[in-house]
Amino acid sequence: MAEVVFDGVSKRFGDVVAVDALSLEIVDNEFMVLLGPSGCGKTTALRMVAGLEPITEGTLRIGDRVVNDVEAKDRNISMVFQSYALYPHMTVARNIESPLLARTFTVDGEDHPRKLTKTERADRVAGAAKTLGLAELVGRKPAALSGGQRQRVALARAIVSRPAAFLMDEPLSNLDAKLRSQTRLELVALQRDLGTTFLYVTHDQVEAMTMATRIAILDQGRLQQVGPPQAVYERPHNLFVARFIGSPPMNTVPAVVRIVDGEPFADIGEAGRVRLGAAEPEPLADGTRIILGVRPEHLQIGAGQVRATVTAIEWLGHERHVICDLAGETVVVREATGFGTAAVGDIIAVGAAPGDVHLFDPSTTQRLN
């Protein structure tokens, strides 16, 4: 129901820059995931939207309103905390009702915001509890609930005020793996049903890839790349994104460009060389130092002229990881079907189609093709 726009937003704690000139537009009804390692500034960014952290610099808009100086309660947002932050002394129903008690709301068909009546509150609580499958549990205290149920109460408390945007700070990190994958699907369905902007913080790329409309990747307070999951995966803008997204991560190997008969090759020393596609926007010059990146599933054993020594093999049932030493770098080949015969100690040839090879500048870490 509202867009959230960061315009050059910075947050400094003393000398520490937590968020550095972040400009990011979260469009209406989008499921935006802020992804990054711990300490990258994603939670700080979220807390600035919530109004829990003052903004050092820049402007933050929710809808058509600049909210830099708007109090948290007046921002029309809801937040789900990592610990759920349920009130332990209140029943589930009282917890869900809590956001309706002190704030004013504009009821459909009325012009001015007002406090909700007891009946209106009860209706909304019952509705939110039903949506999250909590109808049976409304009389319980949080201590009598399982982790998954507590998480649902936190979600119900978030949706009950019908906010313009939802903020979520690692809401799945306290759930076990099975419940987490189930809840991922439910969150996506919830977002679709509510038709509301979600801003979701996580360090888990699986959550980001599976739920996001778009992912914003942060590192050291700086925005690295924004885009739909597939685009971020297929065309990482820099080495950080390339190595952060994907599991196992993208293989990266330093090389030097050689032009042979007008064709560009990447020379990896004694390991061999790889034919490259065209680089953009500038063609590669002979002698340029680059970093080659290839995803494990794009490497093929037996195709190409680069030699590597198999050092370990990981068998995962549905796939096999062949781990090799390639000119001193560890490289992982992912075999999804038709497992080959490579065994530890073998010297194998590996290669990749030119279109699957990512090129990065070693000094700027930016993408070159």
Partner 1 sequence: MGGTRRIREALVAYAMLIPSAIIFGAFFFYPLYRLVYLGLHQQNRTGTAERFEGVSQFGEVLTGEQFTEGLRISVTYVVLTMPLGLILGVLLALAANRQLRGIKVFRTVFASTVASSVAVASVVFFVLINPQAGYFRDVGFLSLSDPSSALRGVALSSVWQNLGLTFIIVLAGLQAVPDEIMEAATLDGYGPFRRFFRITLPLLSPTLMFLAVVLVIFAFQAFAQIDILTAGGPAGSTETLVFKIFNSQQPLSQGSGAVMALGLFVVTLFVALAQFILLDRRVHYGD
For the CB of residue 143, give the shortest distance to partner 1 in the complex, in Å. 3
68 part of the interface to partner 1, by CB under 8 A: no
88 part of the interface to partner 1, by CB under 8 A: yes
User: Binding residue for partner 1 (CB under 8 A) from 24, 45, 50, 116?
Assistant: 50
Cα–Cα distance measured from residue 1 to residue 4, given in angstroms and rounded to the nearest whole number: 10
Q: Tell me the three state secondary structure of residue 62.
A: strand
For the CB of residue 64, give the shortest distance to partner 1 in the complex, in Å. 21
Is the N-terminal amide bond of 236 cis, ω within 30° of 0?
no
For the CB of residue 355, give the shortest distance to partner 1 in the complex, in Å. 47
Cα–Cα distance measured from residue 140 to residue 224, given in angstroms and rounded to the nearest whole number: 44
For the CB of residue 205, give the shortest distance to partner 1 in the complex, in Å. 24
The residue count for binding partner 1 (CB under 8 A) is 24
For the purposes of burial, counting CB atoms within 10 Å of the CB of 64, is it exposed (0-12), middle (13-18) or buried (19 or more)? exposed
Interface with partner 1 by CB under 8 A: which range of 5-13, 48-56, 60-68, 286-294? 48-56
**b/e sequence 257-273, b meaning 16+ C-beta within 10 Å:** bbeeeeebbbbbeebbb
Shortest CA distance to 201 belongs to which of 45, 308, 69, 67?
Answer: 45
Cα–Cα distance measured from residue 45 to residue 346, given in angstroms and rounded to the nearest whole number: 49
- Which run of H or of E encompasses 100? helix 92-102
Q: Tell me the three state secondary structure of residue 19.
A: strand
For the CB of residue 212, give the shortest distance to partner 1 in the complex, in Å. 23
CB nearer to partner 1: pick between 149 and 369: 149
CB nearer to partner 1: pick between 96 and 274: 96
Shortest CA distance to 106 belongs to which of 128, 129, 76, 130?
Answer: 76
CB nearer to partner 1: pick between 16 and 102: 102
Interface of this chain with partner 1, residues 155 to 174, rule: CB under 8 A: 157
For the CB of residue 169, give the shortest distance to partner 1 in the complex, in Å. 9
Interface with partner 1 by CB under 8 A: which range of 83-91, 178-186, 249-257, 316-324? 83-91
User: Binding residue for partner 1 (CB under 8 A) from 52, 189, 336, 343?
Assistant: 52
81 part of the interface to partner 1, by CB under 8 A: yes
For the CB of residue 3, give the shortest distance to partner 1 in the complex, in Å. 20
Task: Write the CB contacts of 345 (distance below 8 Å, at least 6 apart in sequence).
Answer: 309, 310
Give the other-Cβ count within 10 Å of 357's Cβ. 19
Contact string (CB under 8 A) for partner 1, positions 96-135, x = contact: --xx-xxx--------------------------------
For the CB of residue 311, give the shortest distance to partner 1 in the complex, in Å. 45
Q: Tell me the three state secondary structure of residue 121.
A: helix
User: Binding residue for partner 1 (CB under 8 A) from 48, 77, 212, 266?
Assistant: 77
Cα torsion 14, 18, 23, 25 to 10°: value is -130
Interface of this chain with partner 1, residues 296 to 355, rule: CB under 8 A: none
- The site for partner 1 (CB under 8 A) is made up of 50-52, 72-73, 77-79, 81-83, 85-89, 98-99, 101-103, 142-143, 157
